[in-house]
Amino acid sequence: MRNTKGVQKIAFFFLFLATLLIVVPVGLIVVIIIQKGLPAINWQFLSDIPRQGMRAGGIFPAIIGTFYLVLGAIIFALPIGLLAAIYLSEYAKDNVLNRIIKLAIVNLSGVPSVVYGLFGLALFVVFLKFGASILSGSLTLGIMILPIIITTSREALESVPQSFREVSLSLGASKWQTIRHIVLPNAIPGILTGTILGLGRAAGETAPILFTVAAFYLPQLPKSIFDQAMALPYHLYVISTQVPNVDEKIRYGTALVLLSLVLFMNLVAIIIRYNFRKKKKW
Amino acid sequence: MADIKVNNLNLWYGDFQALINVDAHFTRNQITAMIGPSGCGKSTLLRVFNRMNDLIEGVRVKGQVIIDAENIISDKTDLVVLRKKVGMVFQRPNPFPLSIYENIVFGQKIHAEGLTRLKLDEVVEDSLKSVLLWDELKDKLNKSALSLSLEQKQRLCIARLIAVRPEILLMDEPCSTLDPQATSRVEELMRELKNNYTIIIVTHNMQQAARVSDETGFMLLGELVEFGKTQDIFTSPKDKRTEDYITGRYG
């Protein structure tokens, strides 16, 4: 018996250690980037165009570019993803076609992001002749985050109690009215959470925008959705590997801005989810 | 005001036959209680009357259920019209996670009727009065319906239903989550409501059936074994199985 307790203690120790190991890299990344990047952050860095071959000036065009790309991706992916999720959770019967659709969504989320980039290049840039543009990049990012939006939206819809639907129908509401007035309003926090997680993912990815939109160096703001644009993740890649003699401060400053952006979005998602759980009482 | 006539009704869940040759006549301005052991088909029968069984895949129904000279089993039945006429109170009180006010006007909004604020206020007041909640709740209509007690919730659900102005109320064990005092108050409400509605109540509680109903049907294994005046069923049942059940030999 004494031995069992000892074994248990050792097991707990290793389980705790493994869990702790997850925290360490996250903490280190954040600390190092803040430490090295913070000195670079000032108003000029955030609001100026890059100067002297990206060795000075700011990163404003990249911030704006990322903002446009994320916005475009969500305009494209949210309606499609939400409608697909409503179809899958409320209408789809369990048949071959719908199983294929579900399988496709799972596979879509497993596709490496560089493959999305190639796909976007082939379809949007070349075939549809959108060229390397904000439109192509947004659509590519949109396809990439579709599975996140569909999956989280479906979960949110399915977590609305069946009894709400029954009551609504029994009061003479049509199926669509039930979805519109009862199911959707109660699923919105979950859908929002998924959307913001998708946004964070879209803001941080480099590979999908590599061939479809990102400009190496473009010291001006895009004028239309058919223009190329700079974007934070790609800009970071460029100044870290392609341009010699860039001050470390600028590289880490760019990383800090990108990281803050993504963490901020995730934080918003967490807050929404937390408030929703607190209010939920059924 | 509507009667329900059931002729030779059969219902299958896939291969399982849940209702077998049911014939019955539910009379207006009466409370009819359906009793029987679990799984006897009484809730299934109830859910035929507002076609809630349609939500379950693989249900087949044959026979006639006549409400206002229309066989509501037919594919041509307009479910929205039917469900406005035949309302349902569920076992668990299930208000929407909205305010008390919003819960009651839900039907009005869905059916796009009387959408002026004045008319809606009137509907809320009338509905709450008819379930005897008005005095308790008139000052907190904007509070969440989820903050109410179980009994208040169930009354609110009845009020929400009455706001749609149905003719028939189906009640599926409406008191099973309530304590005895609340149960007796809801039963009192049912007696009040029967002046204006045809009420059918499914219940596990035989005392309740005896207390509130005018007629009673006893179901067993999908068959309607006996149907008649409540007094007769409980004092001189014609069928041996009915007698066994009400004397507590099974169920």
Measure A149 CA to nearest chain B CA, in Å: 25
Q: What is the per-residue pLDDT for A264? A: 87
**Antiparallel, parallel or unpaired: β B198-202 and A56-57:** unpaired
For residue A158, give its domain range.
59-277
Of B57, B94, B164, the CB nearest to A172: B164
Q: How far apart are CA B228 and CA B219, in angstroms?
A: 12
For the record, the structure tokens of A199 come out as 């946004």
Instruction: Give me the residue from A177, A181, A281 closest to B146, CB to CB.
Output: A281
Query: pLDDT tens-digit profile of A191-224?
Result: 988 888 898 889 888 888 888 888 787 777 888 8
Helix, strand or coil, per DSSP, at residue A207: helix
Give the rounded distance of the alpha carbon of A71 from its chain centre.
11
Q: Which of A101, A106, A109 is nearest to A198 (CA)?
A: A109
User: What mean pLDDT do residues A249-277 have?
Assistant: 86
Q: Please tell me if residue B97 touches chain A, with a CB cutoff of 8 Å.
A: yes
Those residues whose C-beta lies under 8 Å from the C-beta of residue B22, and which sit 6 or more positions away, are: B6, B8, B9, B10, B45, B63, B223, B224
Residues of B in contact with A281 (CB under 8 A): 97, 146
Using the beta-carbon criterion (under 8 Å), do B110 and A173 form an inter-chain contact?
A: yes
Give the pLDDT confidence score for residue B250 in this predicted structure.
Answer: 63
**Interface residue of B92, B94, B165 to substitute, partner A, most A CBs within 10 Å:** B94
Looking at residue A223, its pLDDT comes to 81
Residue A119 lies in a domain: yes
Ranges of residues in chain B with a pLDDT under 70 are 1, 114, 249-251
> Is B165 part of the contact surface with chain A (CB cutoff 8 Å)?
no
**Phi and psi at residue B169, in whole multiples of 5°?**
-110, 120
The pLDDT, as a whole number, for residue A167 is: 93
Whether residues A170 and B81 touch (CB distance < 8 A) is answered with no
pLDDT tens by residue, A82-106 = 999 999 998 888 889 989 998 999 8
Residue A55 pLDDT exceeds 80: no
CB A63 within 8 A of CB A222: no
Kind and range of the H or E run holding B152? helix B150-162
| Cβ–Cβ gap B92/A163 under 8 Å | yes
Give the pLDDT of residue A41.
Answer: 86
Residues in chain A: 282
Kindly state the average pLDDT of the residues A258-269. Answer: 87
Write out the H or E segment, with its range, that includes residue A67. helix A60-86
Q: Reduced to 3 DSSP states, what percent helix, strand and coil does chain A have, rounded to the nearest 5?
A: 75, 0, 20
Which of A151, A125, A148 is closest to A138 using CA atoms?
Answer: A125
Under 8 Å CB-to-CB from B36, ≥6 apart: which residues? Answer: B42, B218, B219, B220, B225, B245, B251
Nearest CB to A172; choose among B83, B97, B157: B83
Q: What's the CA gap between B198 and B169, in Å, rounded?
A: 6
Strands B4-13 and B16-26: antiparallel
Question: CB of B36 within 8 Å of any CB in chain A?
Answer: no
| Domain regions of chain B by residue span | 4-246
CB A49 within 8 A of CB A210: no
Q: What mean pLDDT value characterizes chain A?
A: 88
Between CA B114 and CA B124 the distance in angstroms is 12
What pLDDT shows up at residue B225?
92
Cα distance between residue B132 and residue B156, in whole Å = 10
| Contact list, B94 vs chain A (CB under 8 Å) | 161, 163-164, 166-167
> In angstroms, rounded to a whole number, what is the distance separating the alpha carbons of residues B133 and B103?
14
> Is A206 part of a structural domain of the chain?
yes
Higher pLDDT: A55 or A233? It is A233
Nearest C-alpha of chain A: how many angstroms from B188?
24
Indicate yes or no: CB of B57 within 8 angstroms of CB of A93: yes
For chain A, how many structural domains are there in total?
1
Distances in Å between the Cα of A192 and the Cα atoms of A70, A111, A187, B84, B166 are 15, 24, 9, 34, 38
For residue B36, give both structure tokens: 């029987």
- Do A186 and B52 make contact, defined as CB atoms within 8 angstroms? no
> In the structure, what pLDDT confidence band is assigned to residue A225 with cuts at 50, 70 and 90?
confident
User: Is A45 within a domain?
Assistant: no
At residue A281, the pLDDT reads 55
CB contact B143 to A (< 8 Å): no
Nearest CA in chain A to B147: A281
Q: What CATH number does the domain located at B4-246 have?
A: 3.40.50.300
Q: Which two tokens stand for residue A133?
A: 């543009």
Strand partners, B175: none
Q: Which residues does chain B have within 8 Å of residue A168's beta carbon, measured at their own beta carbons? A: 96, 106, 110
User: What is the pLDDT, as a whole number, of residue A143?
Assistant: 93
| d(CA B124, nearest CA chain A) in Å | 16
Quote the pLDDT of residue A271: 87
| Nearest Cα residue in chain B from A173 | B110
Neighbouring C-beta atoms of residue B104, cutoff 10 Å: 31
Q: Decide if A214 is inside a domain.
A: yes
Residue A254 falls inside a structural domain: yes
CATH code of residue A221? 1.10.3720.10
Confidence (pLDDT) at B1: 60
**Lowest-confidence pick of A42-51, A160-169, B180-189:** A42-51
Residue B171: its pLDDT value, please? 93
Taking alpha carbons only, the member of A157, A267, A131 closest to residue A212 is A131
Question: Over 70: is that where the pLDDT of A282 sits?
Answer: no
Position A189 confidence tier, pLDDT thresholds 50, 70, 90: confident
